């Protein structure tokens, strides 16, 4: 039966249609926010997937160009692989939803969102987040929800709930917060050095708005929600856990996992696993669950030691950062490079500078093509964690980590007027044992400074973890979590920023939300760690951006010309500008407002190109001396090219003080000569003199 539900959300109508379409899915809603329309569906397999020890959840966000009245590019005129924005949206939807499914659920679940119409004032990403939560909540799929999501902007010091497209462009904050009824479950933010107390205020405001949306979802579920279906539990059998503990006492497991070297720990666990496999070889059921059981045993051991004894696996204090190291200029001939090491996490970042014409153009569900002048990319090869796997290009995790580091550094990148370059930073993961994304922020910041990019302020990043007990006030926040604490803990709270404030946040959790006190402590702890990393490590390595780009980087000089003369510089079919490029070896970019950027490695070629452009756009003046090339000879004189689009003639009588019988006796084609302008007639013909030139 078709039912329609509506509420007012941030001054716009949110409408949910249930039973109108997609009736064969476990849960389906057609959700409208303003004129934005998204079809959100949730489906689950009838049987669990065999042979997996994880919850097989897939999240999709499909952008259709028809949603904004565009034809897809390319020959096929069909949407291809997911855009970077679609991938990042999938991750933001996944992160708050995943913890709310049963941990022992092994049925395949797919959450799919189809963007069918886009209203610039109602973001489709937010609409899909809400649609997904509602679709799962009304379905028969086991789910401990609902959850809701709100976005917050900051304009002129005031918060804006669910900002419009125009608000987002001018906002100092782009915050997304997901909540359950009681707690915050996900945070994603990009910010223009927003102070910590202001960020907390925005988070708590979003959480408050989320409670109103959850009441709306509860009303829908009460009216047309399905009864949740039963499922086969894949919890580890209690008798297997007892058998393992009998064979491997708790003190033996503690010794195995509590070491500061990742490979030593992995070898210790491998030896224990081998011993248990021999012990249980005759029990096929136990053998099938051995990996999961051993994982749970490690997890309980680590959590107990951290929570009860305040003892971390590598022996650090709760607020202690692993050993840090920073270097710059480790790669020759590139435009800028730096390496940042934190314990067994190591990132090398390389910066490349290029003309603005090489900035990345991104076509998506926006009215216009977006141009990205600063690009950050992140790579995570298998050798960084001691594994062997063929690289198939960046996955969702790599794209997400690159976007997070990019978001952290964008607020400090200088404007085009201050630094007219396109900038690409690539973070290569050499070694990984926790929080490579934040090490990437640190390495990238130093590489930018080494490349001579005049960033507004240095940026550092760090991650905090969490281990919780049975009550809300029984918890430990851990500074600088390593891989084991991430795997077995409850939170990965990444924060990047400057001394002035926060530039990026990404929070992932495995539990049903965080209290306000935990969020406050995590943000305070990350600030303390960021300041230490900045002042004691990064700025001691490179205290400020270099005053100039290095010898291998292109040099860019800008000049302003009359926009009406752009056509003269370009010439018919680009002939004039191509002549300049061929003769000087530079690259030239011209904007519609007449800003000309001349880019080259050799200063002499750049100077020559600028001079040639000036000759084109500046009027030739009678009485001035110019340098030009002889391009044609006639019996009565020689023609000299003063600029690619301006020629003048030297009459034979003006070649020398003495009588000249033949033009070739004085000049030949290809000669460079200095000439004086004698006259410019009404037709624009230029008369030159060689003998009168200074």
Does the pLDDT of residue 683 top 90, yes or no? no
Q: In this predicted model, what pLDDT tens digit does every residue of 36-45 receive, in sequence order?
A: 999 999 999 9
pLDDT tops 80 at residue 139: yes
pLDDT, position 367: 61
Pairing verdict, β 345-354 and 336-342? antiparallel
Integer Cα distance of 494 and 513 in angstroms: 16
Angle at 321 between CA 265 and CA 266, to 5 degrees: 10
Is residue 473 pLDDT above 90, yes or no? no
453 contacts 336 by C-beta, under 8 angstroms: yes
Task: Give the model confidence (pLDDT) of 230-250 as tens digits.
Answer: 999 888 889 999 999 999 998
* SS3 assignment, position 662: coil
Residue 366 has pLDDT above 80, yes or no: no
Whole-number pLDDT of residue 369 = 66
**With 70 as the cut, is the pLDDT of residue 345 above it?**
yes
Alpha helices in 280-409 (DSSP H): 284-309, 396-409
640 burial (CB, 10 Å; 0-12 / 13-18 / 19+) is buried
- Residue 670: exposed, middle, or buried by beta-carbon count in 10 A (0-12, 13-18, 19+)? exposed
What's the mean pLDDT in 178-205?
96
Note the pLDDT of residue 327. 97
Grade residue 618 by pLDDT with cuts at 50, 70 and 90.
Answer: confident
Q: What is the mean pLDDT of residues 363-375?
A: 79
Q: Decide if pLDDT at 456 tops 90.
A: yes
For residue 194, the number of C-alpha atoms closer than 13 Å in the C-beta half-sphere is 30
Say which residue the tokens 């397999």 belong to: 45
How much is the pLDDT for 575? 87
What pTM did the predictor assign?
Answer: 0.88
pLDDT range class, residue 353, cuts 50, 70, 90: very high
Strands 646-651 and 686-689: parallel
Question: Under 8 Å CB-to-CB from 85, ≥6 apart: which residues?
Answer: 63, 125, 362, 364, 365
What CA–CA distance (Å, rounded) separates 436 from 632? 64
Q: Tens digits of per-residue pLDDT, 92-127?
A: 999 999 999 999 999 999 999 999 999 989 999 999
Task: Flag whether pLDDT at 386 surpasses 80.
Answer: yes
- What does the alpha-carbon distance between residue 482 and residue 486 come to, in Å, rounded to a whole number? 6
Mean pLDDT of the chain: 92
Confidence of residue 368 (pLDDT cuts 50, 70, 90): low
């Amino acid at each position: 039966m078709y039912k329609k539900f509506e509420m007012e959300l941030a001054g716009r109508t949110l409408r949910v249609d249930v039973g109108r379409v997609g009736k064969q899915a476990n849960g389906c809603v057609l959700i409208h926010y303003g004129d934005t329309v998204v079809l959100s569906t949730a489906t689950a397999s009838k049987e669990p997937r065999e042979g997996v020890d994880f919850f097989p959840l897939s999240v999709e966000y499909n952008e259709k160009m028809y949603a904004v009245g565009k034809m897809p590019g390319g020959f096929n005129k069909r949407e291809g692989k997911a855009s970077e924005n679609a991938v990042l949206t999938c991750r933001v939807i996944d992160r708050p939803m995943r913890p709310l499914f049963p941990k022992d659920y092994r049925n395949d679940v797919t959450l799919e969102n189809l963007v069918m119409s886009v209203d610039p004032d109602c973001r489709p990403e937010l609409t899909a987040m809400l649609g997904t939560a509602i679709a799962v909540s009304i379905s028969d799929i086991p789910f401990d929800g609902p959850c809701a999501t709100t976005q917050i902007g900051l304009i002129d010091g005031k918060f804006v709930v669910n900002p419009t497209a125009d608000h987002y462009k001018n906002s100092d904050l782009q915050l997304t917060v997901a909540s359950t009824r009681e707690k915050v479950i996900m945070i994603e933010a990009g910010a223009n050095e927003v102070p910590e107390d202001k960020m907390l205020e925005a988070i708590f405001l979003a959480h408050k708005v989320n409670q109103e949306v959850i009441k709306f979802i509860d009303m829908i579920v009460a009216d047309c929600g399905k009864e949740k279906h039963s499922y086969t539990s894949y919890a580890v059998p209690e008798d297997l856990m007892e058998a393992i503990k009998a064979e491997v006492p708790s003190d033996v497991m503690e010794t195995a996992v509590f070491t500061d070297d990742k490979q030593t720990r992995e070898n210790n666990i491998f030896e224990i696993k081998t011993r248990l496999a021999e012990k249980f070889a005759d029990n096929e059921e136990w053998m099938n669950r051995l990996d999961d059981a051993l994982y749970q045993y490690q997890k309980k051991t680590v959590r107990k030691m951290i929570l009860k004894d305040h003892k971390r696996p590598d022996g650090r204090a709760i607020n202690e950062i692993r050993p840090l190291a920073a270097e710059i200029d480790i790669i020759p001939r590139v435009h800028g490079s730096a390496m940042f090491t934190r314990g067994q996490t190591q990132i090398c970042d390389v910066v490349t500078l290029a003309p603005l014409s090489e900035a990345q153009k991104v076509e998506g569900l926006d009215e216009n093509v977006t141009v990205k002048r600063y690009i950050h990319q992140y790579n995570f090869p298998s050798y960084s964690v001691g594994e062997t796997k063929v690289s198939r290009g960046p996955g969702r995790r790599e794209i997400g980590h690159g976007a997070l580091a990019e978001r952290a550094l964008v607020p400090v990148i200088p404007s085009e007027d201050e630094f007219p370059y396109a900038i690409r930073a690539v973070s290569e993961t050499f070694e990984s044992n926790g929080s490579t994304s934040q090490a990437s922020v640190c390495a990238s910041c130093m590489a930018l400074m080494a490349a001579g990019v005049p960033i507004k302020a240095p940026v550092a990043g760090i991650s905090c973890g969490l281990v919780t007990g049975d009550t809300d006030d029984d918890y430990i926040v851990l500074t600088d979590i390593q891989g084991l604490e991430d795997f077995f803990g409850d939170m990965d709270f990444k924060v990047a920023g400057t001394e002035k404030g926060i530039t990026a946040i990404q929070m992932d959790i495995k539990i049903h939300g965080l209290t306000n006190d935990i969020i406050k402590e995590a943000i305070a702890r990350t600030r303390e760690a960021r300041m230490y990393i900045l002042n004691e490590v990064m700025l001691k390595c490179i205290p400020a951006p270099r005053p100039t780009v290095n010898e291998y980087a292109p040099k860019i000089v800008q000049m302003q010309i009359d926009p009406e003369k752009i056509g003269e510089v370009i010439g018919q079919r680009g002939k004039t500008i191509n002549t300049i490029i061929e003769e000087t070896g530079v690259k030239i970019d011209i904007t519609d407002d007449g800003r000309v950027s001349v880019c080259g490695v050799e200063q002499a070629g750049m100077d020559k190109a600028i001079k040639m452009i000036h000759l084109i756009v500046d009027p030739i003046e009678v009485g001035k001396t110019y340098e030009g090339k002889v391009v044609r000879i006639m019996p009565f004189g020689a023609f000299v090219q003063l600029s690619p689009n301006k020629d003048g003639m030297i009459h034979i009588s003006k070649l020398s003080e003495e009588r000249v019988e033949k033009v070739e006796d004085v000049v030949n084609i290809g000669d460079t000569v200095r000439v004086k302008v004698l006259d410019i007639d009404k037709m624009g013909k230029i008369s030159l003199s060689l003998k009168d030139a200074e």
